[in-house]
């Protein structure tokens, strides 16, 4: 068994040995558009109210005609966003069924930033023969998050949309504008979007703000 799989199984064993904590964290994907035969990066985002998360593990299922792009050594191309994951490493593996398995962890026990926004991105390629349509990218089973006390959180059933289109450039521009609008969105600590700031702590553009 290689190092990557050992590391993934170790975290899974740790999480299964703890009691489930209340699920106050959620994953989501940003939308993407790509032409047949092209590649695009898909972002996995997280909104978390727990402030002491250290590790996460997820398995991502891709639709037919969409596959993970790997480097010359066969490693999936994935990038961590350091504003949320300073001191963390990412381990990735493509399973026999084509699903992407990923693990984000920190040997030093560094914390994942407790805000909202993208944690990482991974690159996919669409087959040249793929029909133009909207397809789903989704997590499989329970996505695990472990905190500094080895308590486990989980998120299930997360789905994102990838539009396979003959005009990906204009669609991506629309998505960029949509994402910029969401950057100014206001959420409470329960992860619910609200129309204006409330007294107490609000999450605005992925950052916590205190309104007195």
Supply the CATH number for residue 128's domain: 2.60.40.680
Query: Is there a domain that residue 191 lies in?
Result: no
pLDDT at 76: 95
Domain tally, the chain: 1
Residue with tokens 């069924």: 97
Long-range own/partner contacts, residues 178-184 (CB < 8 A, 24 or more apart) = 178/31, 179/30
Query: Is there a domain that residue 206 lies in?
Result: no
Query: Is there a domain that residue 182 lies in?
Result: no
Query: Is there a domain that residue 180 lies in?
Result: no
Residue 40: burial class (beta carbons within 10 Å; 0-12, 13-18, 19+): buried
Query: Is there a domain that residue 186 lies in?
Result: no
pLDDT at 173: 60
pLDDT at 20: 35
DSSP string, 102-118: EEEE-TT-PPPPSSEEE
pLDDT at 192: 67
What distance lies between CA 148 and its chain's CA centroid? 20
Query: Is there a domain that residue 189 lies in?
Result: no
Q: Are 163 and 31 in contact (CB under 8 A)?
A: yes
pLDDT at 14: 40
pLDDT at 101: 95
Domain region containing 20? 3-167
Q: What is the mean pLDDT of each run of 10 residues along the chain (212 residues)?
A: 45 39 65 88 80 88 94 92 86 94 90 80 93 91 83 79 78 58 64 76 67 74
Instruction: Identify the helix (H) or strand (E) that includes residue 156.
Output: strand 152-156
Phi and psi of 51, rounded to 5°? -100, 5
């Amino acid at each position: 068994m290689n190092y990557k799989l050992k590391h993934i199984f170790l975290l899974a064993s740790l999480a299964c040995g703890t009691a489930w904590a209340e699920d106050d964290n959620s994953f989501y994907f940003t939308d993407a558009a790509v032409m047949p035969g092209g590649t695009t990066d898909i972002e996995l985002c997280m909104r978390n109210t727990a402030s002491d998360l250290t590790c996460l593990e997820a398995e991502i299922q891709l639709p037919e005609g969409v596959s993970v792009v790997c480097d010359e050594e066969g490693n999936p191309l994935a990038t961590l966003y350091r504003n949320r994951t300073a001191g963390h490493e990412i381990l990735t593996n493509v399973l026999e069924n084509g699903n992407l398995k990923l693990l984000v962890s920190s040997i030093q026990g560094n914390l994942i930033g407790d805000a909202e926004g993208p944690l990482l991105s991974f690159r996919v390629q669409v087959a040249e023969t793929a029909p133009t349509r909207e397809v789903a990218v989704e997590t499989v089973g329970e996505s695990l998050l472990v905190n500094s006390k080895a308590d486990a959180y989980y998120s299930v059933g997360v789905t994102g949309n990838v539009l396979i289109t003959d005009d990906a450039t204009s669609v991506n521009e629309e998505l960029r504008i949509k994402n910029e609008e969401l950057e100014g969105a206001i959420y409470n600590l329960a992860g619910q979007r609200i129309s204006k700031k409330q007294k107490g702590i609000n999450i605005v553009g992925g950052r916590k703000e205190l309104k007195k």
